A and B are shown apart, each in its own frame.
Chain A
Amino acid sequence: MSARSPKKKPRSAPSRFYRRLTRARRQRLPGRMRALQLVRRCVQASVLLALISIPVFSLYENLRNQRDDIGIEARFDTRLVDGLLRENPERRVLATKLRGSVWTLKAGDTVVSDPLAVVDFSAAARSGVDPFLLTALIPLLATLLLGRVFCGWLCPADLLFEVGSTLRRWAGIETNVTFSRWTKFCVLGLGALAGFYLGTQVFAEIYPPRVVSGELYLWITFGAGGAGAWLLLLIVSFEVFASRRFWCRYACPGGALYSLLGTFRVLRLKVRADRCTQCSKCVSACEFGLSPMSGKIGNECNNCGHCVRACGLDALTWRIGPRPKDGFDIIAAAERSAARETSAHGAKGTVEENHDTAGQ
């Protein structure tokens, strides 16, 4: 039978070769998850690119408006930015549409702000009703549904800290000081209280995504940064030499806020009980030191997908659904096969799947 025949082969009896092939791929890395990691890296890279290009384009536009050709020559590689924008009024208009950073962004006429900025603002300004609070609506909804997704996908500092984590692995540094997870919630609460009583916005100074974007803006525009670069250097070196992913796990007020908001998240990491062998590879892969294999990963997961990728048996998946009543995100074997049988075209799949995993 030719492979191109339009009729589907019945799936009940896959060839031995096919089984071997799929098993080998699954053991290495599930293909979909590899693609997901690629998407995540692309999103992170484009956030970083945006944080660099927004100040560059705005500075260029301002200098053009001032007819400061000398300033442009001095500050820009004229082949790059000037060549991109000079003779293109449409592109110049487009480049002015996006302003701001991950702390607060203006895209066209829409303003989107970090929920932590809103917390910081309403504490320091002692204002519970303000139009600014509405700007956090989109991230708020996203966090309620997806959990701490900002941390793993959009945060520019997370990229920096992941580089630190990789360095740590390469250098083979063993020291790993752990703290209490409650520290970050205390930072959030005490910071908001301090903001309320003292009238200063505390988080803006110590929240790494804001610090990264602020420093990038200051370096690009004025050629000199503030104290934030030292904070970042301090955190990264502490993470590399002393404590793995210290900031995100124990100290980040934003992470604490998103964890709280994402307690009843809909996108949940599930363990397939029939596939999991309790090898704890996912636990050691988890950058945040959580325990995905127990089914109680909690609300601190940032959807980075390292655990799903590390699992050679494809026992971890993302599912959309409510928070389970007993708190354990486990798909029991019986439950799973029942779901298979009720589904439209998966009835024959269970036998082969079980057969497939039994061999491992």
Chain B
Amino acid sequence: MSKRAPGLEADVAHATSPPKPRRREFLKSAAVIGSLALFARVRVGGLEGYVEAATQNGNAYIRPPGAVDEEEFVRRCIRCHKCGENCTNSCIRFVGAEGPAEARGTPYIVPREKACVLCMKCNNNCPSGALQFVDADHPALWEVVHMGTAELDKNICNSYQGYICGVCIRACPIGDLALSADLWEKPLLNPDYCVGCGLCEQSCFHMPQALRIRNRGRA
């Protein structure tokens, strides 16, 4: 440490001398702040536009169970990745740089790749209340979990097309209430009981899936 580092004369002068001309300092600071804002992709306009665009076609992110509604979720999530760390099923992934700026770093689930098994470890560990606490043994999960709603395309569903299938009915954790069997294993959906976990979509082996979880926001 006894050797003086190069470039330190500026530092010593900076620590002891009076400030430089104000306009130049202001411009330099403004450049720093501007580039940070650019990187954080701060946008004028707020969240209303994002939420509207996200939910109108049912393509909003499917959030982990216990999530509050989309706008409040984006406001509350502190991007700590704890839900993903605690996800025993490893189904939670995170919005990367390709996603919208408002949602960057927030958790979501792609049911057809890996659906949620409703173990509730994520919301039990969420520090900021973006995911509200849900007891894993809750007797009526459909009252507290709203990840999305399953929607059925009868035109491509095997059972509706005469090939008896029924795997989705067996996959549903709230079977008989959310997804019950009609004659010849035709799935019958009841949106009031559907929590949107996506196990039916994951199990559907028709490509593209006849059952899909859509998130159109809360009614």
Contacts and interface: CB of A to CB of B under 8 A. Distances in A.
Contact of B85 (A55, A124, A179): A55
B29 A226 contact: no
24 contacts: A62-B89, A63-B90, A100-B82, A103-B78, A104-B128, A176-B8, A178-B11, A178-B14, A183-B28, A194-B42, A197-B46, A199-B75, A201-B78, A202-B42, A204-B78, A210-B79, A217-B81, A226-B104, A227-B96, A280-B12, A283-B12, A283-B16, A289-B15, A310-B1
Of residues B6, B40, B96, which shows the largest number of chain A Cβ atoms within 10 Å of its Cβ? B40
Given A187-B33, A251-B32, A284-B5, A104 B82 contact: yes
B102 interface: yes
Identify the 10 closest CB pairs spanning chains A and B, nearest first: A291-B15, A199-B47, A176-B10, A227-B97, A183-B29, A176-B7, A289-B11, A204-B79, A58-B85, A284-B8
A41 interface: no
Interface residues of A, number: 83
Nearest to A253: B36
Contacts, number: 201
B85 A100 contact: yes
Interface of B: 1-2, 4-8, 10-12, 14-16, 19, 25-26, 28-29, 32-33, 36-37, 39-47, 71-72, 74-82, 84-90, 93-94, 96-97, 101-102, 104-105, 125, 127-129
B6 A172 contact: yes
Given A135-B127, A200-B101, A226 B96 contact: yes
Contact of A198 (B7, B14, B43, B104): B43
Interface of A: 29, 54-55, 58-59, 61-63, 65-66, 99-101, 103-104, 106, 111, 113, 117, 120-121, 124-127, 130-132, 135, 168-169, 172-180, 182-183, 186-187, 190-191, 194, 197-202, 204-206, 210, 214, 217-218, 221-222, 224, 226-227, 231, 244, 250-251, 280-281, 283-286, 289-291, 294, 306, 309-310, 312
A284 B7 CA distance: 9
Contacts of A231: 39
A198 B90 contact: no
B85 A117 contact: no
A206 B36 contact: yes
B31 to A, nearest CB: 9
Contact of B127 (A59, A104, A174): A104
A280 B17 CA distance: 14
A175 B89 contact: no
Contacts of A187: 32-33, 36
Given A169-B5, A204-B105, A183 B94 contact: no
A200 B4 CA distance: 44
Contacts of A283: 11-12, 15-16
Contacts of B129: 130-132
Nearest to A297: B15
Of residues A63, A125, A131, A217, which shows the largest number of chain B Cβ atoms within 10 Å of its Cβ? A125
Nearest to A63: B90
Given A66-B90, A191-B36, 11 more contacts: A100-B82, A104-B78, A121-B78, A132-B129, A186-B33, A201-B77, A201-B78, A205-B79, A206-B39, A250-B32, A284-B4
B217 to A, nearest CB: 16
A89 to B, nearest CB: 16
Contact of A290 (B15, B36, B104): B15
Contacts of A309: 1
A310 B2 CA distance: 7
Contacts of B29: 179-180, 182-183, 186, 250
B76 A121 contact: yes
A226 B97 contact: yes
Contacts of B96: 224, 226-227
A121 B1 contact: no
A29 B101 CA distance: 50
Contacts of A227: 39, 96-97
Contacts of B26: 180
Contacts of A226: 94, 96-97, 104-105
A251 B15 CA distance: 17
B44 A132 contact: no
A284 B1 CA distance: 10
Contacts of B10: 176, 178
B12 A200 contact: no
A186 B19 CA distance: 17
A143 B125 CA distance: 26
Contacts of A100: 80, 82, 85, 127
A319 to B, nearest CB: 21
A341 to B, nearest CB: 34
Contact of A62 (B16, B25, B39, B87): B87
Contact of B33 (A54, A174, A183): A183
